[in-house]
Chain A
Amino acid sequence: MRKKAAVCFHTMSKNTVSDRFRKVDVDEYDENKFVDEEDGGENQMGPDEAEVDALIRQYPFHPLSCWGPNGNLMEALQAVLKNPPINTKNQNVKDRAEGLVLKVLSSFKSSDIEKAVQSLDKSGVDLLMKYIYKGFERPSENSSAVLLQWHEKALTAGGVGSIVRVLTARKTKSSSNLRKHQFTLESIDVVRLIFK
C-alpha cells in the first residue's frame, strides 16, 4: 500500500510542468544588473618571477652585512609585492603570483617578520593582507602557520581597516573561507565585521 502511494507521488511530480526554469539565473537577464568597470587587466603579468627568485637565492650569501642577514629577503618582499595582477582575468597569472608571494613569506625567519612588515608603506600592508587571505584559501603544508605569523604583524601595522579592505575589494574576490579565520581577531571585532 505504501509503495503504491510513493509511486503515485512520484508520477505526480513528473506530470507537472518542467522545473528547468528553477535553474535559470534571472539576474543575468536583468538589464540593470551592476557590472564592474573594465579596468584593462590584459597587460598585468604579476611580479617578476626571475627577479624574485634571484633575490631569494642570494640570501644568505650576500656580502653586504650592513643590510642585515636578511638583506635580500627584504628586497624580495618589495619585488614580489610589485605589479599585483589584480585586474587580470588570467587565473594562471594570479596563481603564480600567490605562489611566489608564499615562497617569499615562507623564507623569512619568524623573528624578522615584524621588521619586514614595518618596511612596507600603507598600500603595501593592504596588499600583503590581501595575499595572506588568498593564501589562507588554499592551504598547503605548513602555509597557514607561516601566514598566521605574518597576519599578526600585518594586523598590528594595518589595523582591522586593512582586513575590511580585503573583504570589500571587488577585484580580489575572497571566498567564504574568510569566516573560518575568526580566531585571528578579537571576538568582538569579528562579530562587528561579519554582521555589520
Chain B
Amino acid sequence: MMAYHSFLLEPISCHAWNKDRTQIALCPNNHEVHIYQKERSGWMKIHVLKEHNGQVTGIDWAPESNRIVTCGTDRNAYVWTLKGSMWKPTLVILRINRAARCVKWSPRENKFAVGSGSRLISICYFEQDNDWWVCKHIKKPIRSTVLSLDWHPNNVLLASGSCDFKCRIFSAYIKELEDKPAPTPWGSKMPFGEVMFESSGAGGWIHDVSFSASGNRVAWASHDSTVAIAEGGKTPVVASLYLETLPLLCLTFITENSLVAAGHDCYPALFVYDAERSTITFGGKLDVPKQSAQRGMTARERFQNLDKKATADNKEAVLESLHKNSISQILVLEGDKAKCTKFCTTGMDGGMAVWDVKTLESSMKDLKIV
C-alpha cells in the first residue's frame, strides 16, 4: 500500500510529475532540477536542469503541453520545453525583488501564477505578438510572503496562502486569454485582482491551500496547528479544526469531502468535512508502522533511564513512520481531487512515498473515505 524511495540524504525542496507518471522532476535542495525516469528496478536520473542561481522553490509540470515551470530564490521563473532530448529554458521576468516561493500552471496551461516574498502574486502568460512571457501583479491586500497557490477549475480563480495569516481567493482573469467566466459560489464579477474571499484568521502562516475538485470549497493548513475549510456562498461558511499535533505543511482534497494532509509529524492524516454540520473531524493516521518487537528492559537499563531521563520508560525517540522527517509536499498521483486513488508525498528526509488509497482503506478498520 505504501512504496517509499529514498532519493537523497537532503530535503527534496519540491517536486512535480509528468502526465503518465513515468518521470519525476525534483529539486535536491540546491539550484538544480533533476528529472528521474522510472525503470523496472528503480529510478534513473535522465536530466539535470541548470539555470537558476538560487534554490528552486517550486516546480510544476503541465500534463498536456508537457512544459515545466520552475521558480527560485533568485527571483526568476523559467519555462522549460523539451526540444529533442534536451530541456530548454525560457526566462520569465517576474518583476519581483524577493525570492519566488511557489508556482502553479493554470488548469488550461495558458498561464501560471508565482507567489513570492515580494508580497504579491505574478500571473504570467505568453504574448504571441512579442514572443515573450509577460506578467501582471496581484498586490492588494497581501501583506506578507505568499507561500502557496492553487487554481480553481475555471482557470480564473486562484487561492493563495500567505504569511499574513490569511487564505484569499483572487481573480486572475486575463481578458487577452479567455472569455468572462461564469458565476461561481465565490461571486459573479471577477475582474483581475478582485478579492473573492478572505479568511478572518490571525492564527499562523498559511502553509498550503487546496480547492476541492468542484472549486466550491477551499481548504488551508495553518502554522498554529489548525486546518480549515471554507464553502463558497453569499457569506462563505468556514469550519476549522484545532489539531492536537504539530502543524501541517501540505494538504490536498482526495474527494469532495475528504482531505489528506501532512506536516511536521511526518505522516499523512485524513480529515473529513461534514458540510451539513460545518465541521471537520480527524479521520485517522494513514501510516501503519511496522510493529517493532518490544524487548524487556533489564534492571540496569531501567536505572540508567531513570538517571538520564528521569523516567523508567523505554519509549525510544525513533520515528516509526515511513517518512523520517517532515513531509513538505503532497500531490495527487492517480485519479483526481474528486476521486484520488494514489497520492505522493515528499519531505525533508529526501524520500518520496506513494500511498494507495484503496489498500489504505481496506487495511485500516474505522477508516472511511467519503
A interface with B by C-beta (< 8 Å): 32, 34, 36-37, 122-123, 126, 158-162, 164-165, 168-171, 186-189, 192-193, 196
Contacts and interface: CB of A to CB of B under 8 A. Distances in A.
A187 to B, nearest CB: 6
A88 B226 CA distance: 25
Nearest to B266: A192
B268 interface: no
B132 interface: no
Contacts of B74: none
5 contacts: A34-B144, A160-B245, A161-B243, A164-B247, A187-B317
Interface of B: 119, 143-144, 164, 202-204, 223-226, 242-247, 264, 315, 317, 319, 326
B246 A160 contact: yes
B349 to A, nearest CB: 13
A168 B143 contact: no
A64 B161 CA distance: 53
A187 B316 CA distance: 11
B245 A159 contact: yes
Nearest to A163: B225
Contact of A37 (B119, B202, B204, B264): B202
B278 to A, nearest CB: 16
Nearest to B318: A188
Contacts of B242: 122-123, 126, 161-162, 165
Contacts of A123: 242
Nearest to A164: B225
A158 B319 CA distance: 21
A187 B247 CA distance: 17
B244 A192 contact: no
A170 B245 contact: no
A169 B224 contact: yes
Nearest to A166: B224
A164 B226 CA distance: 10
A34 B326 CA distance: 29
Contact of B203 (A159, A168, A187): A168
Contacts of A126: 242
B244 A161 contact: yes
A168 B326 contact: no
A122 B240 CA distance: 12
A162 B242 CA distance: 8
Contacts of B225: 160-161, 164-165, 168
Contact of A161 (B164, B246, B317): B246
A159 to B, nearest CB: 3
B248 to A, nearest CB: 10
Which of B119, B144, B264 is packed against the most chain A CB atoms within 10 Å? B264
B171 to A, nearest CB: 24
Contacts of A168: 203-204, 223-225
Contacts of B203: 165, 168
Nearest to B223: A168
Nearest to A35: B143
Contacts of B246: 160-161, 164, 189, 192-193, 196
B264 A192 contact: yes
Nearest to B311: A186
Contacts of A187: 317
Contacts of B204: 168
A158 B225 CA distance: 11
